Amino acid sequence: MTARTSDIEKAAGVLRAGGLVAFPTETVYGLGANAQDSAAVARVFQVKGRPPSHPLIVHIGGVEHLGDWVEDVPATARLLGERFWPGPLTLVLRRGRRVPLEATGGLETVAVRVPDHPVALALLSAFGGGVAAPSANRFGSVSPTTADHVRAELGDAVDYVLDGGPCEVGVESTIVDATGDVPSVLRPGGVTREDLEAVLGCPLTVPSTSRVRVPGQHPSHYAPRARVVLVEPEKVVAEAELAQELGHRVGVFLPPSLAGAPVKAHAVVAVPASMAAYARGLYGFLRELDQQGCDLIVASLPVEEGLGLAIANRLRRAAGPRPS
Ligand code: TXA
Ligand code: MG
């Protein structure tokens, strides 16, 4: 069920009182606090189990408010904000004085975005300030794309959950460092590199997964409980069946090129051929295979263009080495 006006008012009141509100965005659900309330922001870290050095994103209601939250708005940042907001793009800029260091993990830069979701925009408008929010999951695990995911994972630790239905985009925002002369992508996401390059008129650097530049990021992130193994698409079935024979409970991400192929495994997800549908479903698929009791997920990477870049980034990091 989607949030009503009275729910939005209630959520804005919770934020004003220093509480935490989980809310829908077009990418994933966020765990929000008043961005200017250091104590509320500290609770976000506590509830997520997230190291305090790992900065949050400040969500604002429109590009016209950007100047309130950052030291200055370089021309490139203005261009990107005007073109892609509201939308799945986060800009990293120099921190404005009203942003507490708690929200930026002690950094002199701040990440800002305008989410493209009617419930998020209504909340930001009713609240009137900025909402600092990471994805509403425990640190390192899979981001929630429905209100039920949030309730299942965070339960009573959140003061209020706004339900806006399933998220349309399904993977997090693209993070662009716009502090320097040449913008760079810190995390691929819902706005494609191709779309950014078309607007900027220049090629962008994108980090390789092995050399993560976003502060505080761990190689294993966006990870389900089950271990994730990545193989070439044509080897998915053989790899899955071998692991199943060896006693694993195997979940398979069956690539579209093998649609309908029989697989002897514990559970099978048919990967959608459309990248938009794959991105929308990705985190739900991972959660579903966990729920079915799989201990191993065999998947392959999509072609790394368009939304495929963000999907491949999340799959690589889900398959990355786990903290011991
Ligand atoms: O789509 C999204 O971005 C979602 C929704 C809720 O807006 N939010 C999200 O937040 O994914 P989170 O906290 O899970 O990821 C935010 C990322 C982190 O990897 C963090 O390191 C990076 O943004 N970040 C935040 N502030 C930064 C800064 N000042 N410099 C560089 N990276 C920053
Ligand atoms: Mg997250």
Query: Which tens digits make up the pLDDT trace of 157-214?
Result: 999 999 999 999 999 999 999 998 889 999 999 999 999 999 999 999 887 754 444 5
Token pair listed for 100: 């507490």
Answer yes or no: do 136 and 52 share one domain. yes
Report the share of the chain in percent with pLDDT over 90.
91
pLDDT for the residue numbered 324 = 60
Residues contacting ligand 1 via CB (< 6 Å): 25, 27-28, 30, 54-57, 88, 90, 92, 104, 107, 109-111, 113, 115, 133-135, 172-173, 175, 186, 214-217
Is 248 annotated to bind a ligand? Reply is no
In the chain, the number of structural domains is 2
> Over the stretch 82-108, which tens digit does the pLDDT of each residue have?
999 999 999 999 999 999 999 999 999
Answer yes or no: do 167 and 236 share one domain. no
Residue 323 maps to a domain: no
pLDDT for the residue numbered 211 = 47
Answer yes or no: do 174 and 60 share one domain. yes
* Residue from 47, 143, 172 to probe ligand 1 pocket by mutation (most atoms less than 8 Å from CB): 172
Report the share of the chain in percent with pLDDT over 70.
96
Q: Can you tell me the mean pLDDT for 144-151?
A: 98
Is 27 annotated to bind a ligand? Reply is yes
CATH number, domain containing residue 310:
3.40.50.11030
Q: Can you tell me the mean pLDDT for 101-127?
A: 98
Distance 53 CA to ligand 2 centre (A): 14
Token pair listed for 6: 């009275």
pLDDT for the residue numbered 222 = 87
Answer yes or no: do 196 and 234 share one domain. no
Is 143 annotated to bind a ligand? Reply is yes
Which listed ligand is nearest to 223 at the C-alpha? Answer: 2
Mean pLDDT (the chain) is: 95
Distance 101 CA to ligand 1 centre (A): 15
- Where a domain ends, among 200, 219, 236? 200
> Over the stretch 55-71, which tens digit does the pLDDT of each residue have?
999 999 999 999 999 99
Answer yes or no: do 117 and 42 share one domain. yes
- Where a domain ends, among 200, 216, 241? 200
Is 111 annotated to bind a ligand? Reply is no
pLDDT for the residue numbered 221 = 83
pLDDT for the residue numbered 161 = 98
Distance 174 CA to ligand 1 centre (A): 9
Answer yes or no: do 48 and 153 share one domain. yes
Is the pLDDT at 216 greater than 60, yes or no?
A: no
Long-range own/partner contacts, residues 273-281 (CB < 8 A, 24 or more apart): 275/302, 275/306, 275/307, 275/308, 275/311, 276/307, 278/302, 278/307, 278/308, 278/311, 279/169, 279/170, 279/171, 279/190, 279/307, 279/310, 279/311, 280/145, 280/166, 280/167, 280/168, 280/169, 280/170, 281/170
* Residue from 150, 175, 221 to probe ligand 1 pocket by mutation (most atoms less than 8 Å from CB): 175
Answer yes or no: do 119 and 169 share one domain. yes
> Over the stretch 251-282, which tens digit does the pLDDT of each residue have?
999 999 999 999 999 999 999 999 999 999 99
Instruction: Please state the atom number of ligand 1 nearest to the C-alpha of residue 31.
Output: 6
Is the pLDDT at 297 greater than 80, yes or no?
A: yes
Residue 324 maps to a domain: no
Q: Which residue range(s) make up the domain with 141? A: 5-200
Instruction: Please state the atom number of ligand 1 nearest to the C-alpha of residue 88.
Output: 1
